[in-house]
Structure 1
Amino acid sequence: MLVAVASALLVACGGGGGGGTPNGPSATLRVYPPVDTISLPVGASGSTGIEVRGGKGPYGVISSDASVSATLSTDGILFISGNSDGTSTLTVYDESLPVQQVKITVTAKAVPLVSSAGTAITLRPNQSLQFNVRGGVAPYSVNSSDASVVSASISGSAVTVVGLPKAGTATVLITDAVGATLSVVVTVQVSTLTTSPATITGPAGTSNTVVISGGVAPYIVSSTNTAVATASISGNSVSVGLVSLGTSDIKITDAAGQSVVVSVTVNSNVLQVSPSNQTIDEKSPTATTLTYLIAGGTAPYTPLVSPADQGFFTTLSITANTLTAVVPASSLTTRCVTADKTIAIDIFDSKLVKQTVTLTIKDGGAVACP
């Protein structure tokens, strides 16, 4: 209904008679309430509440301009529609046309499109924002100039924009039913992708953790030389395993296409000690000398055993790449065991990388240890 709109905007004119004048052939053609000017927004449509009276039916109405259309109901009520910006003269007539006419000037004016968010929006990747459109003529449509940066959709007058995982700017164009448009510029900001640490140096056989900051999750990771360094990711944490002597680059890429490289240098091979185990009998008339060969790691090396096992050895030392362990003769009670005894010997390099070998002393039987 346009009754409320029309009554607020109608401008009364003189003449036309009051509401009490009866209808009929002898009455003057008029409208009630008497008006000669109406304004309405483009897109508005409905009853004005204005009634044609007097004259002699049937009645009709003509619009002089396509910006406004008008009809009369069977009971003589004037209906108008604002189609586009413009002004039209409505001519209401009866069967005596052109003897009796009532002219009404109607102006249709478009209400500018506006958004509740203004004309510029900044989003983070994967952030969504909803705003309302007012003015113009519903229904509205919406389009993003770069759907790889910003997606846009509309439901009624509510527009939803989503920042995608790509830095950039897109113009969201809102168009109403009569072609009026409103542009909203949407910028997606992506923070710089960084890592801590930015480089890794260490011996083979060790692992390091790299923490990712910024960018857009999820991230993917790769190694340029998996024989030197491997990489796996969980959330924003990258585990880097150092495999062998050499260099490799760990490349981390975010969902927005940003990449950062962590340079890895493995400065020594894996610490290895062989054999991994040696076995001696508890019964021996002479001391037993055992040797273990050390390879890889970073010299110098240090052997360690638990305090409880130190008494089994008279010598436990490393010269160059050889570990020497001397176990005394069985005549000394330190070699006697009541059951098979396995002793762990830890070898540490200068980077505190550890390798463990063992020595097993076999129980010789029924003889009890002193």
Structure 2
Amino acid sequence: MNLHVMHSIDGDTCIMAGTEHAAFIAAGAVCDAIDRVMQKDSPVRNAFCGVRPPGHHAEPHRTMGFCFFNNVGIGARYALETYAIRRVLILDFDVHHGNGMQAKFQSDQNADILFISTHQSPCYPGTGKARETGANNNIINIPLPPGAGSVQYRRVFDDKILPAMHAFRPDLILISAGFDAHRLDPLAELEFETEDYYYVTKRVTDVAWEYAQGRVVSVLEGGYNLQALADSAAAHVRALTHGSQPPDPRVAGDVDSLAMSLETKLSLAQSSPKELRAVVHHGGKQKIVVIPDRSLQTLMKLCSGKFRKKMSSVKTAQGQVVTDDSMIGFVHDCHLHVS
């Protein structure tokens, strides 16, 4: 085979000079990151592997979907065989189902690996039905319909994924971090916002501190709008950075409530208030907006863009008219109604 030209394995997956080396480096980087978070007395608690090619479509005997080696799957087995741990959890929030991960672990009898996937359905590669649970119920598939966005995903994460993570009590968490569920990504039709990746990642690090000494390794999968990919990966890494230290033990179990309370007090005390994240409602639809300056003018502009309609008023869930002054005291994820 002449590797100075490109050869197609399938409609998506090609090989040329350097492909094999890059694929080995990608899988090896995951194992190296696992070493760094697992070794005794290591100061590293989590890591992000910005690798290419991705891996979650690669099946044990088949390359596909841009993927050659299943980077995260290899890492999971490496961790279990190298370190004295019993349970590895894999969370995959790529817009496409991680068929390679499911194929690799669905026949496992030991249930030492739990694979949780959220993904658009119907969508490539056509796998990932909710009924596909593995031989030992170690597969959790949560298909999302086209158009699902922040509100639906956060509800699924809080109501289904977090309880499953707590029940499994992982010794290590691996993330297949695809950012192609972003609303700007051209390959699918989910409507995630950049801040959703911070929201999810921070909660994952909190679970990791409860059961796994904070140990998380995240590995890049999909993402095909370069600006959305950059912004989402930055939000993800920011959450990993914030989650590299354990939550204050005085507020274990109530970290979010304290954070919102402190943020409100700081916003009231400072002349330059911090950004506000809100759930806005209009015409039966819900959208997440992030208002960087907590100003009513910025809120109206963002809402007009989100709903593609000029907005003229905004009220709280209790029907009170929102003003610049009242926005200073709002907390994250408050519900507002625009018209």
Q: TM-score higher than 0.5 here?
A: no
Bigger Rg, structure 1 or 2:
1
Q: Could you state the TM-score of these two structures normalised by the residue count of structure 1? A: 0.17
Q: Could you state the TM-score of these two structures normalised by the residue count of structure 2? A: 0.18
Name which structure has the greater RCO, CA cutoff 8 Å, separation 6+.
2
Return the structure number with greater strand share: 1
Return the structure number with greater helix share: 2
